[in-house]
Amino acid sequence: MFAIAFADSALLGMPVDAIVAVYVYQDHQRLIFYVLMASLGSALGSIPLYVIGYQGGEMVLRKRISEERFLRIHRSFEKHEFWALMFPGILPPPTPFKIFVLAAAVFEMRFDHFLVAIFAGRFVRFLMLALATLWFGPEIVGLMGTVVRRHILWVLGAVVVGVVVWLVMRRPGRRLKPES
């Protein structure tokens, strides 16, 4: 599990979700172990892309995405760098996660925060996948992939709404004052 997730994050495309689902379905007792190994492999496998991004990835990133999207990602990293990497880490394929990994390095995210954000995002993703696999069976991977591909704008919209609601709810001015 670790090696496959590492290879997937280190530029090779691997079907990590399907493999996690099969392993979890075949051995329920080791669910947390599989989720941890996939998350750790994904975080450590992102290091080569981080190094590439840190050593001149801005040009690579600017070639792959529009100027508008580049600036939007940059603003997101300036405001909330941890969340700007963690939330895309939760999203399933076809989310272009490697662009966010590259952006984290280009925008000089601290390396320890980088690893923790990827680990946390992938842990949540693989845990949700593992629990869905136990509930619905391994076929959920193909079904979810189809739903996300067909309704990507709705999925991304729901994530954005969730983030905005969370940010509004945690604003310091929202604290309730005690009654007199």
Angle at 131 between CA 125 and CA 134, to 5 degrees: 140
pLDDT digits (tens, 9 = 90+) for 149-164: 676 677 677 767 777 7
Query: Which portions of the chain are predicted below pLDDT 70?
Result: 141-149, 151-152, 155, 159, 166-167, 170-180
Tell me whether residue 32 is in a domain. Answer: yes
Tell me whether residue 177 is in a domain. Answer: no
| C-beta neighbour count of 154 within 10 angstroms | 11
Tell me whether residue 178 is in a domain. Answer: no
Tell me whether residue 64 is in a domain. Answer: yes
What is the distance between the alpha carbons of residues 95 and 166, in angstroms, rounded to a whole number? Answer: 21
Tell me, what's the pLDDT at 32? 96
Tell me whether residue 180 is in a domain. Answer: no
Tell me whether residue 104 is in a domain. Answer: yes
Provide the residue range defining the domain that includes 101.
2-172
**Class of residue 100 by CB neighbours under 10 A (exposed 0-12, middle 13-18, buried 19+):** buried
The total of structural domains in the chain comes to: 1
Tell me whether residue 50 is in a domain. Answer: yes
Q: Of 82, 77, 71, which Cα lies nearest the Cα of 113?
A: 82
Tell me whether residue 87 is in a domain. Answer: yes
User: Which residues lie below 8 Å from residue 48, measured CB to CB, with a gap of 6+?
Assistant: 10, 11
Tell me, what's the pLDDT at 147? 65
Tell me, what's the pLDDT at 108? 84
Angle at 146 between CA 49 and CA 91, to 5 degrees: 35
Tell me, what's the pLDDT at 29? 93
Tell me, what's the pLDDT at 121? 95
